[in-house]
């Protein structure tokens, strides 16, 4: 009993010593960190640029899964791992085509977010221009319009919340990155229903008018060729939110000129009668004619969370 008591007493004494020595150690480390912070240069990542480049020979293209205008998207293997490869196929690589490729690579290079598709690397030696991306099994277009998968109200809200997260990230960059081509085909979905934004072909932080978007998702100021800002993404999101509920491709067979004229005059796709009031209000605020009246993605996220 006695020996137990004395060992307990010596234990607490040792503890006391340990605490004191840890405190001293901690203080020393803090001083060292402060010194490093004031004098040490940032860790250099020279050579980081080359790590982006992947030799075309390291890729095994499999079947085509998408694409159109300037590029085709393939399923592929990169060192045995399934990936997606977006390959530019235009045989005359004009400066304009090269510039588009370069801009998409440069935009994607800086994107790091759980709801934005991750670029793994790029083949940058013409004529083999490819962007290698993580592969996701579905596009949101497939889920909404080509499958029988049920998208109930809660599912639609959860998808929308993921999309809000990707745009809070894009729009909070300095300067904000405007995606300019929001539509279901440009979102990918994984087996756990996580959504990731893809296709940075029109994205830009320079507010330069380039290329066309997809008419049904284009805000009036884009149709009018006027100045625009990140609120064009909020407009397109409003169109897509309605599409989640209606599961109808907006103005699918309407001629482009009619869409343009209608949108500039304030016309919008029909909102289903069954749409709850809070959701209807949100959709209408997002696709408001005046860009300054459209909410930010932070506000949209708050409103969706309350539904
Ligand atoms: N990382 C990916 N994983 C799976 N499918 C993809 C991926 N990237 C693109 N796709 C598919 O290819 C289609 C076209 O890709 P996208 O980058 O949008 O090219 P485009 O500029 O031709 O629209 C997408 O709608 C999607 O169906
Ligand atoms: Mg696309």
Q: Return the pLDDT at 273.
A: 96
Average of per-residue pLDDT values in the chain:
88
247 closest CA partner among 159, 167, 118: 159
Comparing 283 with 202, which gets the higher pLDDT?
Answer: 283
With bands split at pLDDT 50, 70 and 90, how would you rate the model's confidence at 13? low
Q: What are phi and psi of 140, to 5 degrees?
A: -65, -30
Which ligand 1 atom is at minimum distance from the Cα of 117? 1
Query: Is 223 a residue whose pLDDT tops 50?
Result: yes
- The residue out of 111, 134, 157 marking a domain boundary is 134
Q: Return the pLDDT at 231.
A: 97
Number of domains in the chain: 2
Q: Return the pLDDT at 214.
A: 92
148 and 219, same domain (yes or no):
yes
Annotated binding-site residue numbers: 86
- Residue 287 inside a domain? The answer is yes
Q: Which domain holds residue 147?
A: 138-305
Mean pLDDT calculated for residue range 130-153? 95
Which residue do the tokens 């890729």 mark? 59
Whether 71 lines ligand 1, by a CB cut-off of 6 Å, is yes
- Residue 28 inside a domain? The answer is no
CA 269/CA 248 separation, integer angstroms: 10
Query: Is 297 a residue whose pLDDT tops 60?
Result: yes
Query: How do residues 78-109 score in pLDDT, each as one tens digit?
Result: 999 999 999 998 767 788 788 888 889 999 99
Q: Return the pLDDT at 144.
A: 95
Longest CA–CA span in the chain (Å) reads 97
CB 74 within 8 A of CB 84: yes
Mutate to test the pocket of ligand 1, among 62, 65, 66 (most ligand atoms within 8 A of CB): 66
83 and 223, same domain (yes or no):
no
Residues noted as catalytic: 181
**What's the whole-model pTM score?**
0.84
| CATH number, position 115 | 3.30.200.20
- Residue 111 inside a domain? The answer is yes
- Residue 298 inside a domain? The answer is yes
169 and 79, same domain (yes or no):
no
148 and 130, same domain (yes or no):
no
157 and 117, same domain (yes or no):
no
Whether 73 lines ligand 1, by a CB cut-off of 6 Å, is yes
Q: Atom 2 in ligand 1: which residue has the minimum CA distance?
A: 135
Whether 214 lines ligand 1, by a CB cut-off of 6 Å, is no
- The residue out of 87, 113, 134 marking a domain boundary is 134
Q: Return the pLDDT at 301.
A: 97
């Amino acid at each position: 009993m006695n020996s137990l008591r004395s060992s307990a007493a010596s234990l607490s004494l040792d503890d006391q010593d340990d605490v004191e020595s840890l405190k001293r150690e901690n203080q020393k480390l803090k001083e060292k960190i402060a010194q490093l912070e004031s004098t040490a240069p940032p860790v250099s990542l020279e050579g980081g640029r080359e790590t982006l480049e992947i030799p075309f020979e390291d890729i095994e293209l499999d079947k085509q899964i998408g694409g159109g205008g300037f590029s085709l998207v393939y399923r592929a293997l990169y060192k045995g791992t399934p990936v997606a490869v977006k390959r530019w196929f235009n045989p005359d690589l004009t400066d304009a085509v090269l510039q588009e490729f370069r801009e998409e690579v440069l935009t994607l290079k800086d994107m790091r977010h759980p709801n934005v598709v991750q670029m793994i690397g790029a083949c940058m030696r013409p004529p083999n221009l490819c962007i290698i991306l993580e592969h996701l099994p579905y596009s949101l277009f497939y889920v909404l319009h080509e499958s029988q998968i049920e998208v109930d109200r809660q599912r639609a809200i959860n998808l929308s919340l993921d999309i809000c997260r990707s745009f809070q990230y894009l729009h909070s960059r300095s300067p904000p990155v405007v995606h300019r081509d929001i539509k279901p085909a440009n979102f990918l979905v994984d087996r756990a229903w996580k959504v990731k934004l893809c296709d940075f072909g029109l994205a830009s932080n320079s507010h330069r008018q380039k290329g066309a978007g997809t008419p049904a998702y284009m805000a009036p100021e884009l149709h009018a060729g006027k100045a625009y800002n990140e609120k064009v993404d909020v407009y397109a999101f409003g169109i897509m939110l309605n599409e989640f509920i209606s599961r109808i491709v907006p103005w699918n067979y309407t001629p482009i000129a009619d869409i343009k004229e209608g949108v500039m005059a304030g016309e919008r796709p029909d909102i289903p009668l069954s749409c709850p009031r809070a959701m209807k209000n949100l959709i209408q605020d997002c696709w408001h004619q005046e860009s300054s009246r459209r909410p930010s993605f932070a506000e949209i996220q708050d409103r969706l969370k309350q539904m």
